[in-house]
Amino acid sequence: MNHFPSGNKKQLAALAAALTVGLFAAAPAGAAGSGPGFDDPNNWPQYHRSFNAWRFSPLDQINKSNVSKLKVAWIHQPGTITHGLQATPIVIDGVMYTIAPDNNVFALDAATGKIIWRYTAKLDPIVKEVFYGSASRGVTVGRGKVFIGTLDGRFVALDQKTGKELWSTQLSDMKKDYGALFSSPPQLAGDTLFGGTTGGDQPIIGKIFAVNADTGARTWTFEVPKDDPKSWPGDSRKVGGGSAWLPGTYDPTTDTIYIGTSNAAPDFNHDDRKGDNLYTATLLALDPKTGKVKWHRQEVPMDTWDFDAAYEALLVPDGKGKNVLVHLNKNGFVYVMDKDTGAMRNAWQYTENMNWAKGVDPKTGLPIDPVYPETDKQKLHCPNLLGARSWNHGAYNPNTKLWYSHGMEVCNFVTSAKQGPVPGIGGLSLGLSDIKLTDPPGKKADGWLAAFDPLTGKQAWKVRFDMPPLSSALATGGGLVFTGDMYGNLFAFDADNGKELWKFAAGSGARGGPISYSVKGKQYIAIPTGLGSHAPGFLTGAFPQIRNLPGGAALLVFAVD
């Protein structure tokens, strides 16, 4: 905390008090994923498994009739438990590729867990000064390479067969950009490798970078805060934050990148940035060759709640022969859009507790009567700054036509404050003097897993948890939904009605992305475990029992004998 002058000490003290940080159609030629085995149902070849971001495996050997017989097949422990395991493993042709919180990469025999090769990342010591610390959400595999984004601001390419480093490109200026780093894997769009950094909470110009996947040469850089004085008065753009800290998705049928951006800075005070603050809290459609904007949909103009728009964008059939984009926001709403123009098709509320706005206009996509934080006044806002859902991804099953997603029913008290100067690495631009998570009015804070019609929001079923699950969801052709909770319980639910069919005590909470794959005719379920990141730490404000939960980092792989 000694990095902060007095003005920032108040903000960080408020945050730290809550955080308890010590807690742990056909693709064009050359399109991403056009290599051997990419379309094989036995594989999990990219972050969301498919370009449509469904997180659905068609495998059905493990199903409702035998899931109760799931047993541990093997376990991989990467050797460090800092921030747990937040990754989604990749599996191609019997080889699993995964990453540890410290950017060490492993290639494993997907049937046995035996290490084939290991890459030990050599990181700049400056990463020890960064507030957000180590968090690695996965790798990308393609073009004979394994790609990672590093904690010291680089894209790195490794040889897929040997793990040998092929190239490394420094993209983020760690000192100038207040420690903006890559916490998520860059994604492929043809021969373009693209991704954004953290930085929504820093006084910087947040960026999305693209390089040539074969050489590492920079091809374009997109500045998230738009150079527009109407959107950013005065010099506010220069310290406006904005980032794209989760993986984007790519539609090879239209050669379009979809990527969501984060909040503007200061997070909770807009006194110096009264405007729309484009392109923060926005879903962008970009040309992968140039980085030019094809269209944009800003979901939270002048975001003063830390709501972002960084989450996954699904391509879902609309029942009329066309795919539409379905995009969940931290703010408690889901936006349904035309994938080619961004025009609104619908908007629906998925959270139960909402007071920051009266709704979203389904035609314009704009919030109705938003209630902003006020300087030096404590106000209750629902949902909280972590969102009505954290970044843990949902899953869509094309057989049930249901989308399985989590939620958290938690609010926060915020006292906005004028933002003072922010020092270098480790400094945050929060614009607050106090923040505290709390129960919704008249209720007890909790969480849930639910099944929705993604186009309308109609709910098929909901399972409640006394603490919000932070694991992503996995849907399978066996009619199952897999996830995990913060206690370390792993679950399989009936995709049709939410009935619990399997439960396993893993020992530490689940935070990463479950996957399914098959090797030599045998189906496996892999679930990363180990609590970490600031999300569970911050949630201690509403769920003090989190303080007693153990950390960890273990990838558990299950099969039916």
Give the pTM: 0.94
Let me know: does 325 contact 259? Beta carbons within 8 Å: no
Q: Return the structure tokens found at 306.
A: 């830390």
Average pLDDT over residues 468-474: 97
How many Cβ atoms sit within 10 Å of the Cβ of residue 3?
A: 16
Q: Which CATH number fits domain 6-560: 2.140.10.10, 3.40.47.10, 2.30.40.10, 2.115.10.20?
A: 2.140.10.10
Percent of the chain with pLDDT over 70: 92
Range with the poorest average pLDDT among 33-42, 166-175, 542-551: 33-42
pLDDT at 12 over 70: no
Query: Which pLDDT score is estimated for 540?
Result: 87
pLDDT at 252 over 60: yes
Q: Which residue has the higher pLDDT, 494 or 10?
A: 494
How many Cβ atoms sit within 10 Å of the Cβ of residue 499?
A: 12
306 in catalytic set? yes
Let me know: does 428 contact 11? Beta carbons within 8 Å: yes
Distance (Å) of CA 424 to CA 5, 79, 194, 204, 284: 11, 30, 26, 11, 29
Query: Which pLDDT score is estimated for 533?
Result: 61
| Beta strand pairing call for 500-505 and 489-494 | antiparallel
Query: Which pLDDT score is estimated for 535?
Result: 66
Average pLDDT over residues 90-112: 98
Single out the catalytic residue among 152, 201, 276, 306.
306
* Three-point CA angle 475, 407, 206, nearest 5°: 95
Q: Which residue's structure tokens are 């005070």?
A: 269
Q: What is the pLDDT of residues 126-153, one digit of tens each?
A: 998 887 767 899 999 999 999 999 999 9
Average pLDDT over residues 102-112: 98
* CA 274 to chain centroid: 28
Q: Return the structure tokens found at 251.
A: 């539609």
Query: Which pLDDT score is estimated for 307?
Result: 97
Handedness of CA 196, 135, 262, 256 (dihedral sign): positive
- For 20-161, where are the alpha helices, taking DSSP H only? none
Query: Measuring CA to CA, which residue among 471, 446, 466, 450 is closest to residue 349?
Result: 450
Q: Which residue has the higher pLDDT, 84 or 453?
A: 453
Mean pLDDT over the full length of the chain: 93
Q: Which residue's structure tokens are 């422990």?
A: 77
Query: Which pLDDT score is estimated for 11?
Result: 52
pLDDT at 16 over 60: no
| Beta strand pairing call for 367-368 and 359-360 | antiparallel
How many Cβ atoms sit within 10 Å of the Cβ of residue 304?
A: 27
Q: What is the pLDDT of residues 479-519, one digit of tens each?
A: 999 999 999 999 999 999 999 999 999 999 999 999 999 99
Q: Domain limits of the chain?
A: 6-560
Query: Which pLDDT score is estimated for 34?
Result: 41
pLDDT at 7 over 70: no
